[in-house]
Amino acid sequence: MQSVSRSWLLLSGFVLFYVIYLLFGALVFSSIERPVEERLRHDMQVLTEEFLNRSCVNAASLELFLLKVLRANKYGVSVIGNFSGATNWDLPSSMFFANTLVTTVGYGHTSPLSDAGKAFSIFYALLGVPFTMLVLTACVQRLMYPLVIAPVSALQKSGLNPRPATTIHFVLLLVLVLLAFFLAPAAVFSTLEASWTFLDGIYFCFISLCTIGLGDFVPATQPGVKHRGLYQISVMVYLFMGLMMMYLLLSFFHKMADLHGLTTLLQLPRCDDSDLEDDREPIVGGEPKAPPLKDKAASKPLDPSSQASYNSISKG
């Protein structure tokens, strides 16, 4: 009884803290961005008036035209420049789009226009998102051994206790990932993209690798980019590997939290080591582990505590 009330208390504590966090973020964003918005609006007004004064266009026809332009732009069709066949739906760009769909990044710089495209996106995403999660967890499980467990055990052999060893290695790995997947690509992007600064590059890397994907910065969308297909494919590869590293860090952090007793304290789902062992069981002449599991799963009634949680997707 005490644990039930404790879990409810924890949950309401989380919700309250979450709401406060959102309010705090809202306040800060509002205070930072609003003045800039005001200034931009004022500039636009001035610009429109100048345009109208200078020419023979009246406001109504200009607005009509602008509406159409904006609607086209929402779907990635730009009215600027020559209409030199740079389409958003050739094979590399479509693959890039499918990749943003399946990794749940979802930039939105292009989105399906047709009804059939929208319907297809629904099914494609419903199947593709868990599929990608599966692949990512499989790769992470594979990488866990050489990148995490082996160095940590080496550190432990050289005399450190498990807790400091894992912390040291986590920090080291974090710094490495930061260098290799944030700073270096940001530098590359800021040189390849004409209008991006270094901060824009870091911002883009972070927003993409956390799968937020706001879409205000998307590489390979400027007109006149050379080797667009190759560029997009390499960005896709970078995104996939970066996501893998993020998941690795996340599961490492989860294991570390287990070790430090945080998960039991906060009553969070523990790191499940049975998945790791499942993949390692000998296939030839090993114990038949799979059939008993299946029977067990089939015979057990729906256990409320066994519901999948969001974290379980990342830890598989």
Partner 1 sequence: MATPDLLDPKSATHNTKPLLSFSAKSVALSPREESQVVATVMKRKTVTAIFLLVVLYLVIGAAVFRSLEQPHESAQRFAILSQKLKFLSKHSCVNQSQLEEIVKNVVSAMRSGVNPVGTLTNHSSLWDLSSAFFFAGTVITTIGFGNISPHTEGGKIFCIVYALLGIPLFGFLLAGVGDQLGTIFGKGIARVEKMFVQRDISQTKIRVISTLLFVLFGCLLFVALPAAIFKHIEGWSALESLYFVVITLTTIGFGDFVAGGSEIEYLDYYKPVVWFWILVGLAYFAAILSMIGDWLRVISKRTKEEVGEIRAHAAEWKANVSAEFKETRRRVSVEIYDKFQRAASIKRKLSSELGFSSAPELTLPRQTSLVNFNDEWERNEKDAGQQNSTPPARNGGLLLNGHNPERGDISII
Residues 159-218 that bind partner 1 (CB under 8 A): 199-200, 202-203, 206-207, 210-216
Contact with partner 1 (CB under 8 A): which of 3, 53, 60, 83? 83
* 166 in Cβ contact with 255 (< 8 Å): yes
Residues 6+ apart with CB under 8 A from 132: 102, 103
CA dist 78 and 83 (Å) reads 9
Contact with partner 1 (CB under 8 A): which of 113, 177, 188, 225? 113
CA dist 17 and 147 (Å) reads 35
Contact with partner 1 (CB under 8 A): which of 6, 29, 178, 191? 29
Give the residue with the Cβ less far from partner 1, 81 or 159.
81
DSSP readout, 33-99? HHHHHHHHHHHHHHHHHHHHHHSS--HHHHHHHHHHHHHHHHTT---SS---S--S-SHHHHHHHHH
- Number of residues in contact with partner 1, rule: CB under 8 A? 141
Residues 209-268 that bind partner 1 (CB under 8 A): 210-216, 266, 268
* 249 in Cβ contact with 174 (< 8 Å): yes
Residues 120-149 that bind partner 1 (CB under 8 A): 120-122, 124-135, 138-139, 142
Q: Dihedral through CA 259, CA 260, CA 266, CA 271, nearest 10?
A: -20
Of 93-101, 149-157, 159-167, 171-179, the window that binds partner 1 (rule: CB under 8 A) is 93-101
Does 270 engage in binding with partner 1 (CB under 8 A)? no
Residues 278-307 that bind partner 1 (CB under 8 A): 278-286, 290, 298-299, 301-307
CA dist 250 and 135 (Å) reads 16
Of 26-34, 148-156, 157-165, 169-177, the window that binds partner 1 (rule: CB under 8 A) is 26-34
- Smallest gap from Cβ 151 to partner 1, in A, equals 19
Contact with partner 1 (CB under 8 A): which of 9, 23, 178, 179? 23
Instruction: Give the CA angle between residues 270, 271, 272 to the nearest 5°.
Output: 105
- Smallest gap from Cβ 273 to partner 1, in A, equals 16
- Smallest gap from Cβ 158 to partner 1, in A, equals 26
Give the residue with the Cβ less far from partner 1, 142 or 227.
142
